[in-house]
Structure 1
């Protein structure tokens, strides 16, 4: 678990041998490229992950018929990467390719269909289309109920996305209920320091913040950081926790501590993400609100402008985040 660098080392060695001994379109090369892509995805290196997934897909498209279920898996994986890169329309395009093949090739209650539905749900959640996200989640959950016991790890991701969607809808009690269901499964099925547990703790902490219980919020965020700062995991997940801690301290009016955590989260996101990634806009907006609260309006307007520019480029005009960025911009502008 989490030993990505070791995995990458062995996969690289295997790939070098295969590249020397096999023809360039051999299926075993596709397997190597896919494995390396998966490791890079796990450590938040989306561009590298995409590069290797596309190499693998190129071979698969030559060697397999266009409706082969294996192609659906590759399309789904590439969709996941585009989602992480903030390219939500491209992600949906690959999700649709994946789902089309799976719906034609598989039984209607096949567990592989849930992967496509969950990817759709995740894209729609990021795009602020919570109705479409809930519809996709219901499709995934319906299949899982027929296939697995409810304590199965497969449900954890579904419950986590339900929590995120209800958080977006500001239905915090429902969000908390789903995040707690996710955590209960993770605790039963995963190692004590697994990175997925940290994500669950961070999500629960964020909902407690939104419900105004800052003590509980910080308690859960600390549980998340105890894992994320001590095991190998996706640094972007750690950045999200730092941002959530920063938001908690900002709402507690401890602006110095809040800024410290924002800076930690921002440093990681600026290193790992494209300059126009929607997740950068989120933290720019949070920093802007902090500077507004401390009456540093020139700094506040600088950060909110960055958020608005990214939001206008990457999000729909009705996306809740972009609406909020514009409202904050107007509020600050009136103070200048």
Structure 2
């Protein structure tokens, strides 16, 4: 959490300098707004992140055509902020705008499309549209497998997302298979404090619980909670969610 907080302080100082020295609609402000927004998102302040993402978009909308690929990136950032705030219908609206721009200007297997498919999958998952989420996750994987080595971290994230969709559809054996693929890459490629590794451990715990393998599930849940507690802090929403998962698993074990 300290690294993210330090980054936020740095980018706020840079932004303050730019705001004093540049006109309010100067293109160089866009990067400062975007970086500050990213930093707020990293510390879990999604409302502030959204505010800065919208400022960045506002400047570029004045200087770029409405179908410019850079605008698609802004729409994606705004959508992600809305998604984390629980505004999934709004998030999907922005993502569809981004996807429409990209489909007009990019080949069907372009890596940038994979990024938008992945975001759309996440939102549909939150809306309970698990079959649609799985479809978009599989589209993402198909594109990325063409361009990335088999041990690339982005493929691990894809496997994790596909596993979540299968889990939500009640296909626990499929979920377990994809989670094993994800962790095989993540445990080598990611630091042992990476929040995305925690997410995979949490998903593994939830899936193992469905098979009644509570001892293993608790072990993974403990690892997930420890990672987010050390990297994001005790007050972060993800920390509380993983600690709650661990507590429920331990309660279930005590009833056996």
TM-score (norm 1): 0.72
**Counterparts of 1:85-164 in structure 2 under 5 Å?**
85-164=85-164
* Aligned-partner Cα distance in 1 for 2:228–2:139: 32
Shift of 1:152: 0.9
Are 2:235 and 1:237 equivalent residues in the alignment? no
TM-score of the two chains, using structure 2 as the length reference: 0.94
Within-5 A mapping of 1:1-336 = 3-232=3-232, 235-253=236-254
| 1:20/1:71 CA distance change after superposition, 3 Å | same
How far apart, in 1, do the equivalents of 2:99 and 2:116 lie?
6
- 5+ residue gaps in structure 1? 255-336
Counterpart contact for 1:2–1:195, Cα < 8 Å:
no
Whole-angstrom distance in 2 between the partners of 1:172 and 1:250: 22
Asked whether the 8 Å contact 1:199–1:237 carries over to 2, the reply is no
Tell me the CA shift for residue 83 of structure 1: 1.1
CA contact (8 A) 2:228 2:239 kept: yes
Quick one: distance in 2 between partners of 1:89 and 1:209?
Answer: 31
Residue 14 of structure 2 aligns to a residue whose secondary structure is helix
**Structure 1 Cα separation of the partners of residues 180 and 245 of structure 2:** 17
Deviation, structure 1 residue 249: 2.6
Deviations 1:113-160 (A, max 9, x none): 011101111111111111111211121111111111121111122111
- Separation in 2 of the partners of 1:232 and 1:101? 34
Which is higher, the Rg of structure 1 or of structure 2?
A: 1
Offset from partner CA, 1:92-116 (integer Å, 9 cap, x none): 1011001001111112211110111
Q: Contact between 1:163 and 1:175, CA under 8 Å: does it hold in 2?
A: yes
Q: Distance in 2 between matches of 1:213 and 1:7?
A: 40
Q: Any conservation in 2 of the 1:31–1:56 contact (CA below 8 Å)?
A: yes
Q: Deviations over 1:61-113 (max 9, x none)?
A: 11211111111111011111111111111111011001001111112211110
Secondary structure in structure 2 of the residue aligned to 1:191: coil
Q: Is the 8 A contact 1:79 1:90 kept in 2?
A: yes
Determine if contact 1:69/1:101 at 8 Å carries over to the other structure: yes
Residues 178, 2 of structure 1: CA spacing in aligned structure 2 closer, same or farther, 3 A cutoff? farther
CA distance in structure 1 between the partners assigned to 2:172 and 2:240 by the alignment: 22
Q: CA deviation at 1:2?
A: 6.7
* Preserved contact between residue 131 and residue 169 of structure 2 (Cα < 8 Å): no
Identify if the C-alpha distance between structure 1 residues 2 and 123 changes in structure 2 by more than 3 Å, giving closer, same or farther.
Answer: farther
CA shift, 1:243, in A, is: 2.1
Paired residue secondary structure (2:230):
coil
> Equivalents in 2 of 1:152, 1:161: separation in Å?
15
Unaligned ranges ≥5, structure 2: none
CA distance in 1, matches of 2:231, 2:124: 30
Cα RMSD of the aligned pairs, angstroms, is 1.6
